[in-house]
Amino acid sequence: MIRPLARRLVWALTTLIVVYVITFVMVVMVPGNPFQQSDRSMPIEVEHALRARYSMDNNWLYFWEFLGGAVRLDFGPSFTYNDWTCTQIVSQALPISAMIGVLAILFAVLVGVPLGVISAARRNSWLDVSIVSGVLIGISLPTFVSGVVLLTVFAVAWPILPIGGWGTIKHLPLPVITLSLPFIAYICRLTRSAMLDVLGSDYIRTALAKGVSPHQVIWTHALKVAFLPVLSYLGPATAQAVTGSFVVEKVFGVPGMGQHFVNAALNADAGLIMSTVLVFSVLLIFLNLAIDVLYAWLDPRIGLTI
């Protein structure tokens, strides 16, 4: 257990470094100038001075400087948000996105798994058909449409929730539900197909033959195994949800992390691009690692492989 874990850790760090190198190369190669984004352009001498100040005139130096800072969680200044360091931006936005994201994933699991189980257990019934259709609609609906629909219904037509913003508990439900809709759809679909596979296996037939109630067979014997694919989906899903969604933040006016991914890329803000990528990759890689460890613990036949 220890040796494969150590090997996985080394591999995780290697991936992280490769991700950093790729992002750096993209940032350097992609055209765009973070210093000339606003309408008031600065004199070229000022730009040169700024580039020299942040070691951006020498890519090699900048590469090492940013990496050295990132190790100490110091991501340097943002080039579009004046007077802000990237660390400040991330540490302000990430908790907000994380709160919405974790709640959305929890909600998605609590709704998606039971729906998938019911759908598989009553295969081809009208309930199954309507759940499967609902799932496909959930996958097909762009978030900006479902968000606006929810906003119109629950904040305009029937004003029980605020129209947008952040700060009180009443600001939570709409963004959380909007963000969770596609996750509910995927989790329900995964659970359904895994349940269909499991329900066909011999041990389920044995349990039923021995007189265990179908209810218990489905919800304990079968779900235990059928949950595993959902578990491995939860790694990337959580990383994605926790780092925020641009659309949800824009529709509901939430000051989260998702907007920074988009704005940093659009503004060619080198420091912020690399900080957001590193935050996302660290989350993704270590969540995946954690889930693989959990997987190996739940199903000892699998074990930890690289």
Partner 1 sequence: MPTSSTDNLILNRRSRWSRFRANRLAVAGLIVFVSILLIVIVTLPWTVHWYNVQSLDHAVRATPTAHPAVPYQAFNNALQDSRLISWPGLSRFIWQATSWMGHDDLGRSLFHRILPATLLSLIIGGCAAFVAVVLGSTWGATAALLGGRVDAVMMRMVDVLYSLPYILTVILMKVALTRPLSSLFDGHAIPANLLILVLAIGSVSWLTLARVVRGQVLSLRKQPFVEAARANGASTLYLLRHHILPNVAGPIVVYATLVVPQAILQESFLSFLGIGVQQPIPSLGRLAADGVEAVNAFVGFWWLIAFPCSALVVTLIALNFMGDGIRDALDPKSSQAPMI
Based on the shown chain and the rule CB under 8 A, indicate whether residue 232 belongs to the binding site for partner 1.
no
271, 77 Cβ separation under 8 angstroms: yes
- Backbone Cα Rg of the chain: 23
Based on the shown chain and the rule CB under 8 A, indicate whether residue 29 belongs to the binding site for partner 1.
yes
Among 58, 140, 206, 216, binds partner 1 (CB under 8 A): 140
Residue labelled with tokens 């039923």:
208
Based on the shown chain and the rule CB under 8 A, indicate whether residue 124 belongs to the binding site for partner 1.
yes
Based on the shown chain and the rule CB under 8 A, indicate whether residue 86 belongs to the binding site for partner 1.
no
HEC sequence for 45-90: HHHHHHHHHCCCCCHHHHHHHHHHHHHCCCCCECCCCCCCEHHHHH
| Alpha helices for the chain (secondary structure H) | 2-29, 44-53, 59-71, 86-121, 126-140, 143-151, 173-199, 202-209, 214-216, 223-242, 246-252, 258-267, 270-298
Shortest Å distance, C-beta 71 to partner 1 = 18
Based on the shown chain and the rule CB under 8 A, indicate whether residue 243 belongs to the binding site for partner 1.
yes
Q: Which stretch binds partner 1 (CB under 8 A): 40-48, 68-76, 121-129, 291-299?
A: 121-129
Shortest Å distance, C-beta 65 to partner 1 = 21
Number of neighbours of residue 55 by Cβ within 10 angstroms: 16
Shortest Å distance, C-beta 232 to partner 1 = 13
Closer to partner 1 by CB, 25 or 52: give it: 25
Based on the shown chain and the rule CB under 8 A, indicate whether residue 18 belongs to the binding site for partner 1.
yes
Q: How many Å apart are CA 131 and CA 108, to the nearest integer?
A: 14
Residues in region 196-215 near partner 1 by CB under 8 A: 196-200, 205, 208, 214
153, 77 Cβ separation under 8 angstroms: no
Based on the shown chain and the rule CB under 8 A, indicate whether residue 15 belongs to the binding site for partner 1.
yes
Among 103, 230, 242, 285, binds partner 1 (CB under 8 A): 285
Label residue 289 exposed, middle or buried (CB < 10 Å: 0-12, 13-18, 19+): middle
For the stretch 14-47, what's the b/e string if a residue is b when 16 or more beta carbons lie within 10 angstroms of its beta carbon? eebeebbeebbeebeeeeeebbeeeeeeeeeeeb
Residues in region 31-60 near partner 1 by CB under 8 A: 31-32
Q: Which stretch binds partner 1 (CB under 8 A): 39-47, 49-57, 60-68, 278-286?
A: 278-286
Q: What does the binding site for partner 1 look like in residue numbers (CB under 8 A)?
A: 15, 18-19, 22-23, 26-27, 29-32, 120-121, 123-124, 129, 132-133, 136-137, 139-142, 144-145, 148, 152, 156, 193, 196-200, 205, 208, 214, 217-218, 236, 243, 246-247, 250-251, 258, 261-262, 264-266, 268, 273, 276-277, 280-281, 284-285
